[in-house]
Structure 1
């Protein structure tokens, strides 16, 4: 997974390529559908999400607008605390809306 991300850091790309490899080897489809119904957050929205997560006590490792491992862990921890399911570390519009409401 991290080798694929070193080629292209987009999470959706890495997931797609690795899942394709898994499927070729006979693994089943995704257990949870990929959150494709939401549009991707803009750079400003990712930075806002990182700022709000940090203010709420979830360390994102900075507010650079890039969703790396620290931001994903912060999102996952926030989702679990806020009761958002699945707590998968995907920072989409639902997570940002919940953060705007004060968590």
Structure 2
């Protein structure tokens, strides 16, 4: 199996702080997480090592989804159906990821 530096990411932490140190494989430089964040299982990992941006994005998506359902002009029962079978399943996966990590 060959390692492809262009598809790999590196992250160097020294004394609890992220350091911009480059690694190379066969003289090809591997990008750092600072340069190119990586996505795994629907979650973006960047150099901040914090969930604040992910949580804020989830809050924003929730607000926008509820606003769209509210402005749809549908009667109450159909709005509830849209919430239950449209918005909630989209929000459950990110919520499960955050809850499982704690």
TM-score norm. by structure 1 comes to 0.24
Find the structure with the greater CA-based Rg: 2
Q: Specify which structure has the higher proportion of helix.
A: 1
TM-score norm. by structure 2 comes to 0.24
Q: Specify which structure has the higher proportion of strand.
A: 2
Q: Which has the higher contact order (CA 8 A, sep 6+)?
A: 1
